[in-house]
Structures are given as C-alpha cells and as structure tokens.
C-alpha cells in the first residue's frame, strides 16, 4: 500500500480540492435534468411511471456495481469502456476517476440524441417513444456504472490519504457533493431556459471533459498487491455490527429520498407555489452541508459512535415533526415541516459522515484488516446501502403517500418508526459491547491509527520473543536427552 509520507500536506490539499470539485460536478450531473426532463419526457409520450423507472436506473446500477467495483479495483489494472463508439483505456484503477467521469460526460453531452434528431437544421422530438425509453434507460444505467467506479476509486483513495481524519475528509467532500446536488436543478433550469434541452448537458459535460485530465494528473496511483478484497468483503458481510451500520445508511437514505420526492405534494395544503416549495428543500441541503463539515471535524476527536447515535435519534424527531404527529391528531402546520426538515438535515450529516470512518475503525480493531482491500470494500458496502435506499425510498414512500388513509403525515411517521428501530438496535449493540463483552474499547472510535499500530507492533514483538524462547527451551531438552 502507498506510504502516507510520500504525500506532503500541500499535495494532499491539492488532491482534496480537486476531488471536492469533482464531487460538486458529480452532484450537479445527478440532479441536472430533474426540473426539465420529466416535462420533455411526457411530451415525448412517456408516462410518469416510466419516467420514475428512468431515474431509478442510476441507483440500480450503483447498487449492482458498487460491491463489484470494490473487489475488482485491486486486481484489474486495465479497464475498457465502450462509449459513443470510442474505447477508453486506463492502466490503473486509481486513474479511473477521469474515465468514470468521462463516461458520464460523453453520455451527458450526447443525451440530446436520445430525444431529438436533426431534420433540416431543426431539432425535432423523437417520434418513436419506445426508442426514447430504451435509450434513456441505457444512458441513465451507464451513468450509474460510472458513478460506482468513480465513488469507489475516490473514497478509497481519500481513506488512504487521511486515515487519521477520515470523517473530516468525507464531511468536506460530502458537503461539496450536497452543494452540487442542490444547485444542479437551478443550473439545469437556467440553461434550459436559455438554450433548450441540449445546452445544460453541453455546458456541464464540457466542464467535466476539461476537469478530467486534471483529475487524472492530480490523483495519485495507490496500489496494494498483497490485498485480498474477496476475503475482506466476506469478513465484513459476516460482521453483525457492519450490517447495523449499513442498515442505518439504508434507512437514512430511504427517508431522505422519500422526503425529496413527496414533500412538494404535502406542501400543496399550505398553498405554496412551486418556486417557494423548491426553495424550502435548500434548508435540508444547507443543514447537511454545514453540519457535515462540523461533524466530520469533531467526530474524529470525540468518537464516531456518539454522532451516529445522535444522528439516528434526531432523524426520528425530524420525521415526526414533518409528519406533524398524526397519532396525536395535531393539525399540520408549516413550521412543523420547516423544523423537521432542519433537524433531518442535521441528522443526515450525523449518520452519513462518520459511518465510513466507524466501519474502518471497527474492521481494524477486530482483525478484519487495515489495507486497501478493506477500504474499497467498506466504500462498496456504503455505496450499496445508500443506493438501495435511493431505490426503496421513493418507491415505498410514494406508494404509501398515495393511499388516502396515510398520505404524507403517516408515511413520514412510519419512516420515523423504522429509524427509531435502527436507533434501538445500534444503542443495544453499543451497550452490550461496552458493558457485557470482554473487550476494552476506551478509544470509542477516534480513529487514532498510530496508537493501534504501535500496540500491534508490541504484540508481534511479544509473539516473536515467545517463539524464540520456546525454540531455545526445545533445544535444551534435546541436548539433555542426547547427553543421557
């Protein structure tokens, strides 16, 4: 594995700045077509259900390929992508950030071909709706594949470079990713108003094409030939605590995507216009982006579990407030929703930011491993749980919200109950491990790898000393027997 001392503080800062910009553009790409694509798709003859399936292709690809890419990252150094009749190759998965971004860029830049074709210098809508649907599904799915490759490569490199400050680095990157996700619809709507359907894709796609070579030059090559990703993945999957953390990511992401896809319907009862309703969503994004940085910095010092437990509990409070406590027959009010959304944004930072660092810490201290294969597998499991939540949240939430007996208030309450169940499981495990298990864990997840490594070195030295003493005693016994 690459040695940390090879990278100076200045080099790490440049790498972090570049990757934060990449994450911002990544968020913009994901949410860029949200304000105008459904309208154009309906005009092309697609139903709302088919549009939902198109948007679902992205997290489906992310769910399928995240664990695969996390295990193939170590063993495969040549990746070939066939996109837009071009073959893109790379000699290292650490340089894959450029190729995975470029694969999304090429599809994004040519996305207008899905919908339109050129007839006498005039862009017309595609008349065959089935061709439009199939191509849109393929493009969105391949974009998800590129996102999976990019996410694994970037986050595993960040864990290697900032092993003692994983939460701080992830908090900073997630904040920029959330910023991109928040401003993506605004950028998409603005360029769509200026130049039509193709302009947003050309502008953002061209920006990423320019950034791609820069990222490929800046991101270092990090390899570990001795890593065994398959064994690391099996060990992580079998661990119950890792499952609890992944389930927490799934529940939080499901609740988040449920709110994103159904809150506008709920706000109709408050007689808010579309622009004001969309602006309210910025509250959640701002709370998450702001608290993500703060939680990352503080959790590296005070411990990750404290913030995870607080994040689960605050999420329950936020979801119950957004639902206005229907079991108490309280009349829904706008300030209930605003307060609940703010609390939920803070809780999302408390859950999403420390989880990766806590998984790495727990794997290190429980003999799962502390190498590049563990980092990539941890990132793969996190992305898989997150993408599964992106699939189930809108599907389950929209289904329950459409029922007249439930609607948004009771659905939000149900998600709050599931989150509270996750909080109880997490608290029970932590209490059991603290008071019942025969294991001292005074560090409580601070990620101080230098102390852990020193302890391990002492243990290895003691083992070697004991083996030497045992060999000397055996030699003495043999000599005594020969003399007799």
Q: Domains for the chain: give ranges and CATH numbers.
A: 1-223 (1.20.1250.20), 227-455 (1.20.1250.20)
Q: Which two tokens stand for residue 142?
A: 């391949």
Q: What is the mean pLDDT of the chain?
A: 76
Q: Which two tokens stand for residue 450?
A: 């230098």
Task: Read off the pLDDT of each residue in 465-480 and give the average, rounded to a whole number.
Answer: 47
Nearest to 301 by CA among 164, 453, 169, 161: 164
Cβ atoms < 10 Å from Cβ of 137: 17
Task: Give the count of alpha carbons within 13 A of 301, CB side only.
Answer: 4
Torsion sign over Cα 270, 276, 277, 282: negative
In sequence order, what are the beta bridge partners of 125? 116
CB neighbour list of residue 444: distance below 8 Å, 6 or more residues apart: 303, 305, 306
Phi-psi region of 479 (alpha: psi -120 to 50; beta: other; left: phi over 0): alpha
**Lowest-confidence segment of 79-93, 143-157, 220-234, 359-373 by average pLDDT:** 79-93
CB neighbour list of residue 158: distance below 8 Å, 6 or more residues apart: 16, 19, 166, 169, 170, 173
Taking a C-beta distance cutoff of 8 angstroms, is the pair 66, 387 a contact? yes
Convert 393-422 to b/e letters by CB count within 10 Å (16 or more is b): bbbbbbebbeeeebbbbbbbbbbbebbbeb
Q: Please tell me the predicted confidence (pLDDT) of residue 468.
A: 40
The C-alpha atoms of residue 458 and residue 435 are separated, in whole angstroms, by 27
Q: How far is CA 481 from CA 405, 475, 478, in A?
A: 88, 10, 5
Asked whether residue 324 carries a pLDDT value surpassing 70, the answer given is: yes
How do residues 8-32 score in pLDDT, each as one tens digit? 778 888 888 888 888 888 788 877 8
Q: How far is CA 246 from CA 215, 297, 359, in A?
A: 30, 22, 9
Q: For 196, phi and psi rounded to 5 degrees?
A: 90, -165
Terminal Cα distance for the chain, rounded: 53
The C-alpha atoms of residue 219 and residue 223 are separated, in whole angstroms, by 12
- Count of residues in the chain: 484
In sequence order, what are the beta bridge partners of 86? 83
Global confidence as pTM: 0.75
Cβ atoms < 10 Å from Cβ of 361: 26
Torsion sign over Cα 400, 401, 404, 406: positive
Q: Please tell me the predicted confidence (pLDDT) of residue 223.
A: 66
The C-alpha atoms of residue 112 and residue 37 are separated, in whole angstroms, by 11
How do residues 258-275 score in pLDDT, each as one tens digit? 998 888 778 888 887 766
407 vs 197, residue with greater confidence:
407
**DSSP assignment of 45-56:** T--HHHHHHHHH
Q: Which two tokens stand for residue 448?
A: 């101080």
The C-alpha atoms of residue 309 and residue 256 are separated, in whole angstroms, by 17
Taking a C-beta distance cutoff of 8 angstroms, is the pair 151, 379 a contact? yes
Task: Give the count of alpha carbons within 13 A of 167, CB side only.
Answer: 31
84 vs 374, residue with greater confidence:
374
How do residues 42-79 score in pLDDT, each as one tens digit? 777 877 678 778 878 889 999 998 888 887 765 543 33
Helix (H) or strand (E) segment spanning residue 119: strand 116-119
Asked whether residue 352 carries a pLDDT value surpassing 70, the answer given is: yes
β-pairing, 122-125 vs 86-90, is: unpaired
């Amino acid at each position: 594995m690459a040695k940390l001392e090879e990278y100076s503080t200045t080099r790490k800062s440049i790498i972090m700045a570049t990757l934060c910009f990449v994450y911002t553009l990544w968020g913009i790409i994901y949410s860029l077509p949200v304000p105008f694509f459904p309208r154009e798709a309906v005009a092309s003859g697609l139903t709302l259900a088919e549009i939902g399936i198109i948007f679902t292709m992205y997290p489906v690809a992310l769910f399928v390929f995240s664990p695969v890419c996390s295990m193939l990252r170590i063993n495969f150094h040549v990746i070939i992508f066939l996109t837009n009749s071009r073959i893109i190759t790379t000699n290292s998965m650490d340089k894959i950030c450029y190729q995975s971004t470029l694969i999304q860029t090429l599809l994004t830049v040519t996305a207008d071909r899905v919908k339109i074709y050129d007839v006498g210098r005039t862009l017309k809508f595609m008349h065959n709706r089935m061709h439009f649907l199939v191509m849109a599904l393929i493009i969105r799915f391949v974009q998800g594949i590129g996102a999976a490759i990019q996410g694994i490569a970037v986050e595993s490199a960040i864990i290697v470079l900032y092993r003692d400050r994983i939460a701080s680095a992830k908090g900073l990157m997630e904040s920029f990713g959330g910023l991109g996700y928040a401003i993506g619809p605004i950028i998409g709507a603005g360029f769509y108003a200026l130049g039509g359907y193709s302009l947003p894709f050309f502008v953002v796609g061209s920006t990423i094409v320019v950034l791609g070579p820069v990222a490929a030059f800046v991101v270092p090559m990090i390899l570990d030939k001795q890593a065994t990703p398959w064994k690391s993945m099996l060990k992580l999957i079998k661990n119950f605590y890792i499952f609890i953390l992944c389930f927490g990511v799934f529940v939080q992401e499901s609740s988040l995507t449920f709110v994103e896809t159904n809150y506008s319907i709920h706000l109709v009862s408050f007689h808010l216009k579309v622009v004001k309703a969309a602006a309210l969503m910025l509250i959640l994004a701002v709370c998450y982006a702001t608290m993500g940085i703060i939680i990352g910095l503080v959790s590296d010092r005070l411990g990750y579990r404290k913030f995870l437990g607080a994040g689960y509990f605050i999420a329950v409070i936020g979801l119950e407030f957004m639902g206005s406590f229907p079991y108490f027959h309280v009349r829904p009010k706008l300030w209930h929703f605003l307060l609940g959304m703010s609390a939920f944004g803070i809780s999302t930072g408390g859950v999403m930011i420390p989880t990766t660092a806590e998984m790495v810490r727990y794997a290190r201290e429980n003999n799962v491993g502390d190498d590049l294969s563990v980092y990539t597998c941890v990132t793969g499991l996190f992305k898989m749980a997150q993408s599964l939540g992106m699939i189930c949240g809108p599907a389950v939430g929209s289904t329950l919200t459409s029922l007249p007996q439930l609607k948004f208030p009771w659905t939000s309450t149900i998600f709050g109950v599931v989150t509270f169940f996750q909080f109880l499981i997490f608290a029970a495990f932590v209490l059991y491990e603290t008071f019942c298990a025969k294991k001292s864990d005074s560090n409580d997840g601070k990620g101080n790898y230098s102390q852990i490594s020193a302890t391990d070195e002492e243990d290895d030295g003691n083992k070697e000393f004991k083996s030497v003493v045992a060999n000397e005693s055996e030699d003495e016994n043999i000599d005594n027997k020969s003399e007799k």
